[in-house]
Amino acid sequence: MIPENLKTRLILPLIATATLILIVCGEEVQEPAPASPTSSPPTSTPAPTQPATSLPPSPTQIPPTSTATAVPPSPTSTPLPPTPTATAVPAPPDQATDTPLEEKTFSFLEHLTAEYSPRESATDEELAAAHFLRNRLEDLGYDVYIQDFNVSRLLAKVEYSPGSAAGPDVIETQPIVGSFEGSGTGNLADVGMAFEEDIPSQGLDGKVALIERGTITFQEKVNRVAEAGAVAAIVFNNQQGNFRGAFRSQSQIPAVSFTRADGQKLLDLMNQGETSAIVSVQPTSLPSRNVIAEKPDNSESGGTVIVGAHYDTTPDTQGANDNGSGLSVVMTMAELTADTEYPFTVKFVLFGSEEIGLFGSRHYVDALTEQDIEDTVAMLNFDVPGSGERLDFIGSRELTDHATDIVADIGAKAADAGLPEGVGSDHTPFHQAGIPVIFILADDLSRINSPRDDIEWINPTLMGWSADIGIQLLDRLAQDTAP
């Protein structure tokens, strides 16, 4: 059931038949390898690793007040741990959707996926997506500006040289979170999965260990080869694509992750003769940015409501659920409320670099004054609401109660998952600042941050519900704050 006020918002845009599209959440921290995929992941293009260039400043741009400091991502940067038993409801791209809201959100997601995936944090991919989003929001009539900030993160690469090669080849990759910072140089040594019996009796003094992922933790693998004398470690995947791993405590040597294809390439070279490698894990500062669209209020004292979603992804993924789905919901809300008057300012904030430590949302909140924080009525966060059978709400009681009432009205499936403590997404910095928040997500997170997070597994009904709930939350907040 779509309320009359929402029907009014939908009719005019549908007459124009403007077709949109998009995609966008947290970071996977894997140690033992998961089960093999049950469906073939899409072929993906390796993410550019050159530092992104800043968007040209807008006249209304808020200058960044600080440089974001590096905080190694932790397992809590994922909204909830993956649920292997969760049931997905696949919706192939050619599947018809049932309601205008489903059609709008899914159409935007299709376009985003086709044209702007991956959108790896703090890269040229993220920059291109920011341009697209800014232009789209300006077309909807919003005042849009870019909030630039820098992120400090570790970059990793491997240079390798077969004995007969004229010069080294380079593979850009990513460090395992918690890796020792530095470099190690030596001949490659194949140590299988780095079980005790895989370590040669003569040890690994001065070697770079090439390790296959699986069965035991990254920590155990890398500690074992380091204790045997290895100067660096390369862990290659046991399935297609790369992965994002993490140590429980810092490793003794530089350690990086590799795709299975790159690992096999090195094994093939080693079969032809000695192959040397330099493994490097070094900190660097990279530019990123938030995209902020503002709809002015009709009073000077109505406060501000933030509607947010992150638009970056991890490498080597479409990011259809994480967080293309949330981004598509927010962009649909921005379109359908563009001409709606509220007694407060509505800001649609699309956060950059969420996947590597909530950098965009942390920077946004850090730039707020005490008065700004006091004047912020609520923050609505949409992250991974696109895959599964039901929605979950996490957040402040008043907002989750409103959402629960709305769900009953529209006949959606949803559950109140409680308060936001310990659950990491872009609502977290707002909650920590004392701002009321609600985080809307769906129940299947089993493919996020992997090449399998593609549009095949998106359930358009969930995105339609999310957009409906979000718009009606704005309406209810307007009733609550009206004079």
226 and 350 in a single domain? The answer is: no
84 and 194 in a single domain? The answer is: no
Nearest to 330 by CA among 24, 41, 69: 24
Q: Is the pLDDT of residue 166 over 70?
A: no
Please say whether the beta carbons of 441 and 79 come within 8 A.
yes
Please say whether the beta carbons of 180 and 250 come within 8 A.
yes
Q: Is the pLDDT of residue 296 over 80?
A: no
Q: How many domains does one find in the chain?
A: 2
Q: What is the CA radius of gyration of the chain?
A: 23
231 and 311 in a single domain? The answer is: no
Q: To the nearest whole number, what is the mean pLDDT of the chain?
A: 82
pLDDT value of residue 412 = 96
Q: Coil, helix or strand for 323?
A: helix
Q: Is the pLDDT of residue 419 over 90?
A: no
Q: Could you tell me the residue range of the domain that residue 435 belongs to?
A: 4-152+286-481
418-437: burial string, b at 16+ Cβ within 10 Å, e else: eebeebbbbbbbbbebebbb
118 and 33 in a single domain? The answer is: yes
137 and 162 in a single domain? The answer is: no
267 and 333 in a single domain? The answer is: no
304 and 443 in a single domain? The answer is: yes
Last residue of a domain, one of 284, 309, 333: 284
Q: Coil, helix or strand for 463?
A: helix
307 and 162 in a single domain? The answer is: no
Range in 84-88, 186-190, 456-460 the model is least confident about: 84-88
Mean pLDDT score, 159-168: 69
Please say whether the beta carbons of 324 and 386 come within 8 A.
yes
Last residue of a domain, one of 284, 303, 331: 284
pLDDT in tens, 215-227: 999 999 999 999 9
Cα 124 from Cα 174, distance rounded (Å):
16
Cα 349 from Cα 255, distance rounded (Å):
35
Mean pLDDT score, 345-362: 95
Mean pLDDT score, 184-203: 94
Matching residue, tokens 């509607």: 307
CATH number at residue 179: 3.50.30.30
pLDDT value of residue 449 = 87
CATH number at residue 62: 3.40.630.10
Confidence of residue 4 (pLDDT cuts 50, 70, 90): low
Last residue of a domain, one of 266, 284, 302: 284
Query: How does DSSP assign 366-391, residue by residue?
Result: HT--HHHHHHEEEEEEE-S-SSSS-E
CB atoms within 10 A of CB 21: 21
Query: How does DSSP assign 137-203, residue by residue?
Result: HHHTT-EEEEEEEEEEEEEEEEEEEETT-SS-EEEEEEEPBTPPSEEEEEEEEE-TT--GGGS-TT-
